[in-house]
Structure 1
Amino acid sequence: MNMIQALNSAHDVMMERDQGMVVLGEDVGFFGGVFRVTEGLQKKYGKQRVFDTPIAENGIIATAIGMATYGLRPVAEIQFADYIYPAYDQIVSEAARIRYRTAGEWTVPMVIRSPYGGGIFGGQTHSQSTEALFAHVAGVKTVIPSNPYDAKGLLISAIEDNDPVLFFEPKRIYNGPFDGFFDRPLTPWAKTDAADVPEGYYTVPLGKAAVVREGEEVTVLSYGTMVHVALATVRELGIDAEVIDLRSIVPLDIETIEDSVKKTGRCVVVHEATRTNGFGAELAALVQERCFYHLEAPVQRATGFDTPYPHSLEWAYFPGPVRIGTAIKKALEV
C-alpha cells in the first residue's frame, strides 16, 4: 500500500469496528476526497456516516466538535492544511480546552486530517506546513507520518484517542517517497506491496519516535517527507548519522531524542516549514536544555526559508541534500 491506500484502510478498519465513527469534509463522500483517501467509504457505510460538507472549515470543525462531545468519533478532513485557518479558533478555543474546562467530564475524541506541505506545485495556498501553530496549543496532539505503515497505525491510534488530534499527511509522499533531487526511490517504502501494511487492525503509538537509521557521529531529527530527504543525504555523504523520525511532535518522544544526542554529541534538525518559530526551534531548545554537557557543537537547523511559499521555486524552497548536508557538516566541524 502507498500512504493513500494505508490511510483509506485505517478508515475502513475503524468504521467497521466502531459504529460511532463518522467522516466529514469537503468532497469526502461521493468523490472520495481530492486525493482519494476516503474513496469507497460512503458507498460502503452510507451517507449518514460519510458525508460532504459546505466549503466552510469553521463549520466542519465546529460540527465535529459537537459530534465528539456528544459521544461520536468524527474524522474531519480539511482539504488542504492551508485552509485550516478559518477553523483555528474552533480548534484552539473549543476542541483543545473542553477536557480542561469540564475537569475531564467531557472529552473531544476527534481527528482533523489534512494533506500538508509542498511537492505538487500547489502554490501559496495549497503547500504550507502549519504544524508549529498547533504544537503551541495545549490540549491538541499533532501527528505527521512519514510512511504508509506508520500512517495507518498512527491514524488508528489517533481515532481511538480521547483528545483532539491534528493529523497532517505529507502529500509529497502520498504515492511513494520519491524526491526531485534523486532519480531513484529514497527508501524501500517506495516499492512496498500489500504485505508491508497489514490489512487489519494495528496501532502505532502516539508519542513514540522511530530510529530509522542508527549511527554514531550525529543525530538528525525530522518528520514527514524530510525523513526521506535526510536519509538520502546522509547516505550520499557517507556519514554515520543516526536519523530519527519523530512521527508525532505533540506528544514528543524526548527520551529517544535525548538518548541519541547524548550518544552522538551532535544534532541537526530538518523540517520543511519556515525557520523562524518553526518546530525545529523548540527541538533545538530541548536538546540544549537536556544534553548541554554532551554536545560537541551547536545544534544546527535545515529548514524552509522565511518567505511566503514560492510556487515556481518550490524545489528551491525545500531543504534538500545541499542545505541538509551543509548543516550536518557544520555540526561535525566543531
Structure 2
Amino acid sequence: MSEILPETAEAGAEATSSRMNMIQAINSALDIMMDRDPNVIVMGEDVGYFGGVFRATAGLQAKHGKTRVFDTPITECGIIGVAVGMGAYGLRPVPEIQFADYIYPALDQLVSEAARLRYRSAGEFTSPITVRSPFGGGIFGGQTHSQSPEGIFTHVSGIKTVIPSTPYDAKGLLIAAIEDNDPVLFFEPKRIYNGPFDGYWDRPTQNWSKHPAGDVPTGYYRIELGKAKVVRAGGALTILAYGTMVHVCTAVVAAAGVDAEIIDLRTLIPLDIETIEASVKKTGRCMIVHEATRTGGFGAELSALVQERCFYHLEAPIERVTGFDTPYPHSLEWAYFPGPVRITEALKKIMKDA
C-alpha cells in the first residue's frame, strides 16, 4: 500500500526542533554556519540592513556585523566575480542573486571561472561558493521574476545544482552546500517560501492538503548532496520531481488514487541515478514533472538516463509534464504551471494499459 514517508533526522541533527517555513530554515542555516565558521560571508543586493527581499537574511547583519553580511551594488557579474576571488583566498562566500532571472550577467563568472577553477589550477585553488537564488513562479512576478534556469547550469561541469522542496531539506542541504569545496547553485522555490499560504494554495483546481512547512532541528545538521529522497512509496509508477512540483505531484496522486512512488531529486547535479533506476525497474513506468520549459529542460536528461538504464523494464513510454515553451506569462502563470489537470491527464495516459 502506498504511503507518504516521514522526514527522518539526518546524522548530527539535534533533537530540539521548531516549526519553520523555508525562509526561516534558510535563515537558520546561514546563522549557524556563520557561528561555526568565521570564513562564511553573506553578500548580495539588499541582504544586509534590509534582510533580503524575501527576508531570508533578516537579522544576520545585526548579529554578525557589516563585514560579514553586506550589501553589494546591482551587478550580478561583480557579485559572483568577487565571490570567486574570496573563495580562492580561503573564504566561503554565500552570495545571493535576488531573483534567478538576474543570474545571466554572472554566467561567464560562474561557467568560466567558478566551475573551472579547480581544474585550471590543477587543484591548487577551489571555489567554495554557494550561490543562493529564488527561482520559479508563484508570486505573479512576470517574465523577469519567475524563470527556472536550472537546466542551463546542470549542463556545466564543475557546478552542483541543488533545489530543496521542504524547510527541513532546505536547511540541511544549504549547510552541506556551504561546507562543499566546489561551487553550488542553490535554487529556492519561492512559491513555497512561506509555507501554508492559503491565497496561493486554494486555487480552484489546485487545492493541496499538504503544505511545505514542517519541524526543523534548531541546531546543526547536514543532508548529503547527491542523495534523492523517496517521499511517497508506491509500486505502479515512478514520478521524478523537485522543488514545488514535489508537493503538486503528491497532492494530485493522492486525489487520483494512483499507487505512485514519488522521488524528490533534491540535487540535480550530482544526480542520485541509483535511486531513480531502482524505482523505475520496480514500477515499470516513469513520469517527470518540472516547472521549467520543456525543450532543453532537465526532464529531457532524466528521460534519456531512464531510457538508457531501464529500457527493458519500461511498460509504457516515459511521460513529461512541464512548463510551456513560451515566454513566462504574468496573468496566466497558474495555467503555465504543471497542475492537477495536466498531471492527471498524463497519469491516465501512462497507466492506460496497466
**Contact 1:208–1:253 (CA<8 Å) still a contact in 2?**
yes
Residues 142 and 177 of structure 1: CA distance in aligned 2, closer, same or farther (over 3 Å): farther
Q: 1:177 to 1:104 in 2, by over 3 A?
A: farther
The aligned residue for residue 209 of structure 1 is 228
The answer to whether the aligner puts 1:86 opposite 2:105 as a matched pair is yes
Question: Could you say if the C-alpha distance between residues 125 and 189 of structure 1 is closer, same or farther in structure 2, counting changes exceeding 3 Å?
Answer: closer
**Using the alignment, how far apart are the partners of 1:259 and 1:281 within structure 2?**
19
CA shift digits 1:72-114 (9 cap, x unpaired): 0000000000000000010000000001111111110000000
Unaligned stretches of 5+ residues in structure 1:
none
Greater relative contact order (Cα < 8 A, sep 6+): 2
Structure 2 partner of 1:46 = 65
Q: Which residue identity lines up with residue 36 of structure 1 in the other structure?
A: R
Offset, 1:147: 0.4
- Equivalences, count: 330
Instruction: Tell me the residue number matched to 2:16.
Output: none
* 1:176 equivalent in alignment to 2:205: no
- Per-residue CA deviations over 1:270-306 (Å, capped at 9, x if unaligned) read 0000000100000000000000000001100000000
- Structure 2: which 5+ runs fail to align? 1-19
The counterpart of 1:238, out of the listed 249, 257, 276, is 257
Provide the rounded CA distance (Å) in 1 between the counterparts of 2:205 and 2:221. 33
Residue identity in the other structure for 2:247: H
Counterpart of 2:170 in structure 1 is 151
Asked if the contact 2:48/2:66 (under 8 Å) is kept, the reply is yes
2:82 equivalent among 26, 47, 63: 63
Q: TM-score, normalised by structure 1?
A: 0.97
Q: 1:285 aligns with which of 299, 304, 328?
A: 304
* Structure 1 partner of 2:155: 136
Alignment of 1:212-227 (within 5 A): 212-227=231-246
Displacement of 1:184 = 5.1
1:243-295 CA-to-partner distances (Å, cap 9, x unmatched) read 00000100100000000000000000000000001000000000000000000
Among 210, 235, 255, the alignment partner of 1:187 is: 210
Which residue does 2:183 correspond to in 1? 164
- Give the aligned residue type for 1:203: R
| Structure 1 runs (4+) greater than 4 angstroms displaced | 181-185
Aligned to 2:315: 296
Aligned-residue offset at 1:186: 3.7
**Which amino acid in structure 1 is aligned with residue 295 of structure 2?**
T
> Residue 50 of structure 2 aligns with which residue?
31
Q: Summarize the Cα distance change of 1:183–1:320 in structure 2 as closer, same or farther, 3 Å threshold.
A: closer
Conservation of the 8 A alpha-carbon contact between 2:205 and 2:340: no
Where 2:82 maps in the other structure, the secondary structure is: helix
Contact 1:177–1:225 under 8 Å retained in 2:
no
TM-score, normalised to structure 2, is 0.92
Q: Aligned equivalents of 1:182 and 1:5: distance in 2?
A: 29
Residues 208 and 251 in structure 2, CA contact (< 8 A), matched pair in contact too: no
Q: Deviations over 1:147-195 (max 9, x none)?
A: 00000000000000000000000000001165335675542544x3xxx
SS of aligned partner of 1:333 = coil
The 8 Å contact of residues 206 and 340 in structure 2, kept in 1 or not, is answered as no
In structure 2, the CA distance between the partners of 1:248 and 1:122, relative to structure 1 (3 Å rule), is same
SS of match in other structure, 2:141: coil
Counterpart CA distance in 2 for 1:124 and 1:130 is 12
